[in-house]
């Protein structure tokens, strides 16, 4: 018989809390162009860093297996130099010290991280008004 694991809300919340705890205060959300690596354990090679956002000390809360991240205000990050009008395709969440924990897609809808515009230009502020990470199992 095929595997069909299902987790209770309590377990899902614990998993989401573990992600939040492992990232710690002032976690970084690095937004890149290029191909998303196979996992956060895979080194970044030719991908271009477009923006870095810093999450607040109070990262977010979990309920029903969904981590709701607090807003990252305008001005928390800006497009990296030389990234004039580049399309963001993926992100990597790291600790403030740079240890990678979560990767996901970036776009304007239907992605893991949806932005008002996925085109990031040099000097343009980048912010996230709301965001959730869900345990879909």
> Residue 82 has what pLDDT?
63
> Residue 135 has what pLDDT?
76
Q: Is 3 among the domain residues?
A: no
Q: Is 49 among the domain residues?
A: yes
Q: Is 71 among the domain residues?
A: yes
Most confident of 13-22, 52-61, 122-131: 13-22
Number of domains in the chain: 1
- How far is CA 6 from each of CA 9, 11, 12, 116, 137, rounded to the nearest angstrom? 10, 10, 10, 33, 6
pLDDT higher than 80, residue 71: no
Q: Is 4 among the domain residues?
A: no
> Residue 85 has what pLDDT?
78
Lowest average pLDDT, out of 9-13, 79-83, 104-108, goes to: 79-83
Residue 96 domain boundaries = 9-134
Q: Is 2 among the domain residues?
A: no
Q: Is 37 among the domain residues?
A: yes
> Residue 76 has what pLDDT?
55
pLDDT higher than 80, residue 100: yes
Give the residue among 78, 70, 73, 14 at the shortest CA–CA distance from 51.
78
Q: Is 99 among the domain residues?
A: yes
């Amino acid at each position: 018989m095929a595997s069909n694991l299902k987790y209770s809300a309590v377990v899902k919340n614990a998993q989401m809390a573990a992600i939040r705890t492992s990232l710690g205060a002032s976690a970084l959300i690095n937004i890149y162009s290029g191909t998303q690596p196979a996992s956060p354990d895979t080194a970044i090679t030719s991908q271009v860093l477009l923006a870095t956002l810093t999450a607040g000390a109070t990262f977010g809360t979990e309920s029903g297996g969904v981590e709701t991240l607090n807003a990252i205000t305008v001005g928390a990050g800006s497009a990296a130099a030389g990234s004039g009008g580049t399309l963001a395709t993926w992100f990597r969440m790291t600790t403030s010290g740079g240890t990678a924990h979560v990767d996901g897609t970036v776009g304007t809808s239907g992605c893991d991280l949806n932005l008002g515009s996925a085109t990031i230009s040099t000097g343009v502020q980048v912010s996230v008004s709301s965001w959730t990470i869900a345990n879909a199992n």
